[in-house]
A = this chain, B = another copy of it.
Amino acid sequence: MKNCPVRRLIQSKQGYHHGDLRNALVSAGLKLLEQEGHSEFTLRDLARRVGVSAAAPYAHFADKRALLAAIAAAGFIRLRAALEAAIRSDSNLADRFLHLGSAYVRFGMDHPALYKLMFASEELAAQHGEYLELQAAGEAAFGALTALLEQMQRRGLLRAGDPEADGLSVWAHVHGLTSLIITGCLACVGEPAPQPAEVVSLSLQLLLNGLRGPARAEQIA
């Protein structure tokens, strides 16, 4: 993005050292998160890797959190792409639902440090009004889910309901699965340790089953 000629001119004028430090910092941060398992890195180290002084990032980001938010936004864009790819599969709608859920969890398992950062940063985005880019990226990823749910409801594959409200339940479920798996909590309980893939599969089936039934089950006295 931002390939407009004006920007190219500015870049070709060349900030005499780097050209495009902003993007360099973001992609270096992404790479660091992929390599290292933990989601914390220092701004100084990142600047060092990019070959720039410790103060240089402050010309492009207000503070460390702003840089983290930019990286998290890139993560949400990738997540959305992964989810839409999973939905585009040519199978039936119910399978698409299951594939969507699996793809969500797999994204977290494949990029645990990035995933953790994404939700740590979403917290900042929610508290402060800033980080609009991050917020928009997050909502777009959520939209991929609600669109599918609405389609399934229209075709009678799910009980009628508010797609957005159901979407929140589904999101909470897959987010919880992802979180427990990548923090290792799932491996902590049970003898022997449960297989993530099986837990996810059974769990999504359970959720889908609930979405087929009536919204409010009859009270049992």
Q: Does A55 contact B (CB under 8 A)?
A: no
What secondary structure prevails in chain A residues at the interface with B?
Answer: helix
Which of B122, B176, B199, B219 contacts A94 (CB under 8 A)?
Answer: B219
CB within 8 Å of B: which of A164-220? 164-166, 168-169, 171-177, 179-180, 183-190, 194, 199, 202-203, 205-217, 219-220
Count of chain copies = 2
Closest chain B residue to A119, Cβ basis: B183
A220 touches B94 (CB 8 A): yes
Q: A120-B183, A169-B203, A179-B179 are in contact. List 14 more A-B contacts (CB 8 A).
A: A92-B220, A122-B185, A122-B188, A138-B189, A157-B220, A164-B190, A165-B199, A169-B206, A172-B173, A176-B176, A176-B179, A205-B216, A205-B217, A207-B210
Interface residues, chain A, with chain B CB atoms under 8 Å away? 92-94, 119-120, 122-123, 125-127, 135, 138-139, 142, 157, 164-166, 168-169, 171-177, 179-180, 183-190, 194, 199, 202-203, 205-217, 219-221
